[in-house]
Structure 1
Amino acid sequence: MRHTEIISQCGQKRCFPGEFEKQSFVQVIFPHEKSDWIDYLEEARKNFVNIVNAIAKYERCLVVCDDIELVKSYFSENENIEYVQFETNDTWARDCSAISIIENGEKKLLDFTFTGWGSKFDASKDNEMSRALAAHYKTPMKTIDFILEGGAIESNSKGLLLTTSICVLNKNRNASYSKEETTQLLKEELGVNEILYLDYGYLAGDDTDSHIDTLARFVDEKTIMYLKCDDQDDEHYEQLFKMQEQLKELAKQYDLDLIALPFTDAIYYDDERLPATYANFLIINGAVIVPTYGVRQDEEALSVFRDFFKDRDVVAVDCSVLIRQHGSLHCVTMQFL
């Protein structure tokens, strides 16, 4: 769908387009020495280079850098890669970047508050980033005094917002808000009609309190891809089975289709199980970029994406390094209209 079509569809109201809509660019924050990647910085940078290069084959990629000249040295000349300077705390662009909506037929950015997933980590610089880069975006921006991360919300472009209650309703975010107040605020600010709360879903090693983008994702207006665990001996089985059952009920209620994604074998680093998930993919213009982890389920997952995304290329990027810091491909990117 082109910009003009999605803007026309929204008409004179507010609209939160799905990731599968036409985009202008994707934003990435490049790892630096003051980020949590310092123990394996070059490995992390290589991973980010692969992600940026994959994006740049299809659309513009804006790379936020602490040192532009240094970061440029990692890339070949490419007119689809742009650089802007700002020093962040870390590199999780999905959660600290502004969120794109359409209002009154025009693009607009919403800058929610980011507190490092319920004040688990210092995020003061990350929280300032969008306002600091506002002139670069050349899009009107509204700052909202409400804690919300981009990885916590999924839209189908038709008024449905998918999220998890354990994250968005967690008292480590907006303790003074009731469920009803949170629901109303999200409806008003994002221009959605219904909030679909999943009450189950868990990944070992996850710092986000169960972000929806690790569990279940809209891939078009009526289809959700979700993470399924078939191993009854796995610690995730009960939660993901309950999530699946809840998704089935929502699918009946809202006439949605469900597609299961495989669950990886357990992956460890320094004796810690890591939150590897194929649900952390990124949809861009002409392609879907899928995280892989060097496990036997990689090809099965890629087949699921190829079967569904007939009109997009399916591009695999190894994200084994990313999950050492408890996030994956979608977590380090943010699309802009």
Structure 2
Amino acid sequence: MPWRLLIVPTHRQQEVMMQPDDLNTTVVVPPEWAILKAVWTAWPANADEWNGDLESPRRDVAELVRALAETNTVRLLVNGAEAEASARAVLGGTADIIQARYGDIWLRDTGPIFSRSDLGPIALRFATNSWGGKYDLPDDATVGDDVARIAEAPVRRFDFVLEGGAVDHDGEGTILTTRQTLLNPNRNGWSKEQAEAALAQAFNARKVIWIDEGLHNDHTDGHVDNIARFVGPGRVVCQAPAGDDDPNRETLDAIAASLEAATDACGRKLEVTRVPGVGLYRNALGEISPASHMNFIIANGLVIVPVYGTSTQEAALEALRGVFPDHKVIGVSSKGLLGCGTAGGGSFHCITQQEPR
């Protein structure tokens, strides 16, 4: 595709909002295996958020964009002249390059959640409180509005805090989530009943499947997209421990047990496939990191899986090829995105947001 630069205003000018008569229309968040119009992501631009090292995360993002661009339109946000120039130099005409302001690249959580309705696409927008007040960055609260405006999607707003990585959808009214995130006092202070009512309001959710907690040292307080994912109607994947030293061994077994005991909104007992996990993975500072093969992206014709050079990665890729026989399953290194200290902490699903066709 030819390279082009799109400039988006960072103020609220010409924002498309839903009219009052439209607010009661029912929305559905399509499953991630639906046909996509575009995949949105962002270019690392703030060196302070990456321990002064932008090269490592940029290398991972570039490989992700190249892989996606084989069969998908990729819309890459860049923040500032240096970010634009570096992205253009590395990626050329591989993606649409779009100037926008953002705090960091975690568009899964700060971008809109695209849904469908009888009126067409709707961008669902939620409040953000910087992952429970831990990572307060300028423009994270507004970048989702810019994405919705560029996509020409009407916006429906909700006043409660919700990150996109905290919920996983099957497209039929079932949501996966964790108590550790949604019931955390540092978000909304919800009870289980209040959380389920909010998810029903926002997503027309008919069933919520609760998992207790996420991975050890997860910056997000246990986002579900790092531990369990829908891969088809009534089908989920989660990880199996990689060895006796796996710091998440008990957690991963508990996740699988919760899923195996669950039914979805249609009353189906879930079919659960366990994929070999990453196991004990330490970053450059020697910290145990929340590395996960579950942070994959399902796109048009592709599934892109984060890998870390561990002994289990080929077995994990083979297991996911069995889960996605109609997709090309690709492993791409995500060590730079995982980072260390307060930098990074996520992977490919965390930095993308899909826009269904």
Query: Does TM-score exceed 0.5, indicating one fold?
Result: yes
Aligned counterpart, 1:211: 223
Aligned counterpart, 2:76: 63
C-alpha contact (below 8 Å) 2:179/2:211 kept by paired residues: yes
Aligned counterpart, 2:34: 21
Aligned counterpart, 1:5: none
C-alpha contact (below 8 Å) 1:153/1:162 kept by paired residues: yes
> What is the alpha-carbon distance in structure 2 between the residues aligned to residue 112 and residue 21 of structure 1?
23
C-alpha contact (below 8 Å) 1:15/1:157 kept by paired residues: yes
> What is the alpha-carbon distance in structure 1 between the residues aligned to residue 154 and residue 39 of structure 2?
18
1:27-52 CA distances to partner (integer Å, 9 max, x unpaired)? 11100134512522112111111011
C-alpha contact (below 8 Å) 2:114/2:122 kept by paired residues: yes
> What is the alpha-carbon distance in structure 1 between the residues aligned to residue 79 and residue 147 of structure 2?
13
C-alpha contact (below 8 Å) 2:236/2:273 kept by paired residues: yes
C-alpha contact (below 8 Å) 2:40/2:76 kept by paired residues: yes
Q: Are 1:182 and 2:195 an aligned pair?
A: yes
1:170-213 CA distances to partner (integer Å, 9 max, x unpaired)? 110112x33212211111211221111112x3322311111100
Aligned counterpart, 1:250: 262
> What is the alpha-carbon distance in structure 1 between the residues aligned to residue 144 and residue 263 of structure 2?
35
> What is the alpha-carbon distance in structure 2 between the residues aligned to residue 109 and residue 299 of structure 1?
37
> What is the alpha-carbon distance in structure 2 between the residues aligned to residue 277 and residue 13 of structure 1?
34
Aligned counterpart, 1:267: 281
> What is the alpha-carbon distance in structure 2 between the residues aligned to residue 156 and residue 133 of structure 1?
23
Pairs within 5 Å for 1:242-321: 242-251=254-263, 254-269=268-283, 270-321=285-336
C-alpha contact (below 8 Å) 2:256/2:272 kept by paired residues: no
Matched residue type, 2:309: G
CA shift for structure 1 position 237: 1.6
Q: Which has the higher helix share?
A: 1
Aligned counterpart, 1:113: 127
TM-score w.r.t. the length of structure 1 is 0.91
CA shift for structure 1 position 65: 0.5
C-alpha contact (below 8 Å) 2:45/2:54 kept by paired residues: yes
Pairs within 5 Å for 1:1-150: 13-67=26-80, 68-78=84-94, 81-150=95-164
Pairs within 5 Å for 1:152-191: 152-175=166-189, 177-191=190-204
Aligned counterpart, 1:3: none
> What is the alpha-carbon distance in structure 2 between the residues aligned to residue 133 and residue 19 of structure 1?
18
> What is the alpha-carbon distance in structure 2 between the residues aligned to residue 104 and residue 20 of structure 1?
20
> What is the alpha-carbon distance in structure 2 between the residues aligned to residue 53 and residue 230 of structure 1?
30
Query: Structure 1 residues 146, 256: CA separation in 2 closer, same or farther (over 3 Å shift)?
Result: same
Matched residue type, 2:135: F
Matched residue type, 1:42: E
> What is the alpha-carbon distance in structure 1 between the residues aligned to residue 178 and residue 293 of structure 2?
18
TM-score w.r.t. the length of structure 2 is 0.86
Q: What secondary structure is seen at the aligned counterpart in 2 of 1:268?
A: coil
Q: What secondary structure is seen at the aligned counterpart in 1 of 2:141?
A: helix
C-alpha contact (below 8 Å) 1:13/1:105 kept by paired residues: no
C-alpha contact (below 8 Å) 2:239/2:275 kept by paired residues: yes
C-alpha contact (below 8 Å) 2:241/2:279 kept by paired residues: no
Matched residue type, 1:300: A
Q: What secondary structure is seen at the aligned counterpart in 2 of 1:125?
A: coil
C-alpha contact (below 8 Å) 1:114/1:123 kept by paired residues: no
1:106-144 CA distances to partner (integer Å, 9 max, x unpaired)? 111101112221111113411111123432111111121
> What is the alpha-carbon distance in structure 2 between the residues aligned to residue 182 and residue 134 of structure 1?
25
C-alpha contact (below 8 Å) 1:32/1:38 kept by paired residues: no
- Which has the higher mean CA deviation after the structures are superposed, 124-133 or 92-101? 124-133
> What is the alpha-carbon distance in structure 2 between the residues aligned to residue 133 and residue 21 of structure 1?
20
C-alpha contact (below 8 Å) 2:242/2:278 kept by paired residues: no
> What is the alpha-carbon distance in structure 1 between the residues aligned to residue 104 and residue 297 of structure 2?
20
Query: Structure 1 residues 38, 160: CA separation in 2 closer, same or farther (over 3 Å shift)?
Result: same
* Consecutive unaligned residues in structure 2, runs of 5 or more: 1-24
> What is the alpha-carbon distance in structure 2 between the residues aligned to residue 189 and residue 33 of structure 1?
32
Kindly tell me the number of residue pairs found equivalent between the two proteins: 322
Q: What secondary structure is seen at the aligned counterpart in 2 of 1:62?
A: strand
